[in-house]
Amino acid sequence: MKPTHIEHIGIAVTNLEEATKYYEEVLGLECYAVEEVADQKVKTAFFMVGETKIELLESTSADGPIGKFIEKKGAGIHHIAFAMDNVTDALKEAGEKGVRLIDKTPRSGAEGLKIGFLHPKSTLGVLTEFCGKK
Ligand code: ZN
């Protein structure tokens, strides 16, 4: 496998509106999409920085993955997502190399992309996402 670029950086925030203000007013970025992913119990806001996106994640439920993350670690960087040509193959290959997978096969993420997560216990503490069209 070979990631083509960093697709996005996922950042857990407690308040999407306030966080959006910071990215727009201080960094001068523009929020181009807000989307709720019911599956993951999050509301997301996207900003483009070159080829890479910033994905802000606000939990819609205390028992969702972002809610739990913030309770344990506080707001901050949550995961890093690599763009892959084929997420299905990349997950399979990582599994064959002994990486513990959260998703053995891709599921649907924001923006209609296929996503899959690797377990941070296998990735030096960095929750890692693969992201792509297939
Ligand atoms: Zn992500």
pLDDT in tens, the chain (134 residues): 899 999 999 999 999 999 999 999 999 999 999 999 888 899 999 999 999 999 999 999 989 999 999 999 999 999 999 999 999 999 999 999 999 999 999 998 877 899 999 999 999 999 999 999 98
CA–centroid distance, 26 to ligand 1, in Å, is 23
Ligand 1: distance of its center to the CA of 99 in Å?
19
Contact 115, 106 (CB under 8 A): yes
Q: Which of 13, 23, 70 is nearest to 47 (CA)?
A: 23
How many A from CA of 81 to the centre of ligand 1? 6
- Domain layout of the chain by residue ranges: 5-132
CA 123 to centroid of ligand 1, rounded, Å: 16
Q: For the chain, what percentages of helix, strand and coil (3-state, to nearest 5) are there?
A: 30, 40, 30
Cα 97 to averaged position of ligand 1 atoms, centre (Å): 22
Backbone angles phi, psi at 126, to 5 degrees: -105, 110
Q: Tell me, which fold does domain 5-132 have in CATH?
A: 2,3-Dihydroxybiphenyl 1,2-Dioxygenase; domain 1 (3.10.180)
pTM: 0.91
